[in-house]
Amino acid sequence: MVTRTLWAPQALLPTGWARDVLLSIDEAGRFSSVLCDQGEAGLSPQIERAQGPLLPGLVNAHTHAFQRAMAGLSDAYSADCRDTFWTWRDVMYRFLATLNPDDIEAIATWLYIELMRCGFTTVVEFHYLHHDPKGQPYRDRCELSLRMLRAAERAGIAITLLPVFYAHSGFGGAAPTEGQRRFVHDGDSYLRLFSDLQARCQQQTFAVPVRLGVAPHSLRAVTPDELARVLAFIDRSDPTAPVHIHAAEQPAEVQACQATLGAPPVAWLLDNTPLDARFCLIHATHMTPTECERLAASGAVAGLCPTTEANLGDGLFSAPRYLAAQGRIAIGTDSNVGVDPFAELRLLEYGQRLTQGRRGVLSRSDASVASSLLRSVLSGGAQAAAQPTSQLAVGGRADMLALDGENPDLCGRQGDALLDALVFAPLRGPIREVYVAGRRVIKDGQHAEHARALRDYRAVVSRLLAASA
């Protein structure tokens, strides 16, 4: 049964741009028909009109929601000028020690609304807060994971929830530190958590699309034996579930992995795990040319977070080589110092321009940079999330963005020129409407929960700042 029909003056379909597009959405929130060249003049007045061109919704392939409240709190003056990823991590540990479940839900709800207003319709939550501030399990071991799902429901965003397995502070099975006490599981307790979450998701109907996967944090936080156990478990319980893992984010990590396991992280994963299209390697920044080409050939996705990687001084991903090898990419906002997918794509290209001294580094021969990158992250994001999104096509989930046709940087533009403006023009608020599974969650640029979510978020941040003063 058709529950919603929407007409748009132009829309980005899998085959390219089309004009006068009529999209019908069924009661399951999927496209039941997509028709082109359906002139507006002959349409029924009851059919909805999009307020501008339509794009598929984007997937945020990697985020830690609670870190949104840290934005701007970890960049104070460093007297010895040695502020690194590792010193930032210490700040993060001190920050999260004060968060309670209500705080975590409030921060995530606000972040998820922000993400949708910027164009994300699906979020992949790499969720590693499991215990209370003393490191003790909650009475309900799923408490904080369920808070993520409630936040997604309040915001109306589709979510792939990845409970994180984090057991050690470094390679070789090093004991976890005090700052990591809210993350840590052993193999048994992690698999119990995941099994409980599976049961809850099977028993409960959520108001948004929900998908579960696993996230062994990294090779420094999980031993090879522990990783093998998690992968064997997920193969038995849900062989289509996504598997995400941090890899080769920092040179120190690569060196320690080489010293302990005899290979750098990406090479070790390629040689010792069934790395395939289910996997998303987060960052994969420091790869050799051979690793880069092998990762591309594996069918796995590289989950890139350019703004966070720049903020932490991680380095630049080998995008030209990887994309030339037909590698698949997705984008994420990671620590959420930025929440705009188009800004992530801009920085991905600009980083390459700054190092290579030329423009248009990541464009294909038949498309602009913006068009090339957007199409790549639409398909790669859907794969990383394991959700049927990111295409305006029959059978796909009806996740879409209506752009503001009156925006001065968009008005009068057609086709890929719109994408060029979204990525490279100084736009503010270019998105008017957002739909998730056919349900409109952003109207005229606003969300129904905006005022309440903002009030709750401000209260949390104010309390945290007062406590740390």
Catalytic residues: 283, 334
What pLDDT, on a 0 to 100 scale, did the predictor assign at position 158? Answer: 98
User: The pTM is what?
Assistant: 0.96
Question: Which residue ranges make up each domain of the chain?
Answer: 2-55+398-450, 58-385
436: nearest Cα among 465, 385, 380, 398:
398
Q: Name the nearest CA neighbour of 164 among 110, 113, 120, 227.
A: 227
Instruction: Give residue-wise pLDDT tens across range 397-447.
Output: 999 999 998 999 999 899 999 999 999 999 888 999 999 999 999 999 999
Mean pLDDT of the chain: 94
- Residue-wise burial string across 129-139, b where 16 or more C-beta atoms lie within 10 A, e elsewhere: bbbbeeeeeee
Closest CA to 208 of 398, 454, 339: 398
How high is the pLDDT of residue 96?
A: 76
Asked: is 58-385 a CATH 3.40.50.300 domain? The reply is: no
Q: What is the rounded (10 degree) CA torsion for 88, 93, 98, 101? A: 110
Regions in the chain scoring below 50 on pLDDT: none
Q: What architecture is domain 2-55+398-450? A: Roll (2.30)
Q: What is the CA radius of gyration of the chain?
A: 22
Long-range contacts for 453-460 (Cβ within 8 Å, ≥24 apart)? Answer: 453/106, 453/109, 453/110, 453/113, 453/154, 453/155, 454/110, 456/106, 456/109, 456/110, 457/69, 457/106, 457/107, 457/109, 457/110, 459/106, 460/69, 460/103, 460/106, 460/107
